[in-house]
Amino acid sequence: MTRIPMDPDAIRALAGILTETGLTEIEIAEKDSRIRVVRAPGVPPPSAEAPTRAAPHPPATLAPPPSELDALASHPGAVLSPMVGVVYLSPEPGAPPFVTVGQTVSAGQTVLLIEAMKTFNHIKAPKAGTVTRILVANSSPVEYGEPLMLIEA
């Protein structure tokens, strides 16, 4: 393979300018050569740490670690919890679950229940597809917007 020539100093310099200017991407092209440096908005330069360093216990959350949560929540096939409550995967204790991984579901089909204020709310599949992942355990608490399962076409 041909070795691609690169200029680490130029890259460092551009990275420095990114930080200095708060840019997230710089691209420079000259004839056939091209340099492009990007810093994802998520990844801040060192001066942006959150003021909770000294806190003894980081704020707990009922959901999986933010990074994964965010990733799953933005998944096109994600079914998100419309309320705070407790999840039930089957219509009643001992009964088989509404759905299992690999099962195909039709739009509007109930895939689980969320109990809030002593009422059981039917959570329905937003669209037809296959259940590729169930992200919550039976009778576990969920918060608003938390991904419950993935249904992919």
User: Which entry of its own copies, other proteins, none binds 137, CB below 5 to 8 A by partner kind?
Assistant: none
91 binds other proteins (CB under 8 A): no
* Binding residues among 108-137 for its own copies as defined by CB under 8 A: none
Torsions phi, psi for 5 (to 5 deg): -70, 135
Whole-number minimum distance, CB 11 to other proteins, in Å?
A: 20
Question: x/- contact string, 25-64, with its own copies (CB under 8 A)?
Answer: xxxxxxxxxxxxxxxxxxxxxxx-----------------
Q: How far is the CB of 49 from other proteins (least distance, A)?
A: 4
Question: Distance between CA atoms of 23 and 36, rounded to whole angstroms?
Answer: 12
| Structure tokens belonging to residue 18 | 């990114």
In whole angstroms, the minimum distance from the beta carbon of 34 to its own copies comes to 4
**104-105/33-38 β-pairing:** unpaired
From 2-10, 82-90, 104-112, 138-146, span contacting its own copies (CB under 8 A): 2-10
46 binds other proteins (CB under 8 A): yes
Phi, psi of 151 (to 5 degrees): -125, 115
C-alpha span between 30 and 39 (Å, rounded): 22
20 binds other proteins (CB under 8 A): no
| Distance separating alpha carbons of residues 25 and 40, to the nearest angstrom | 8
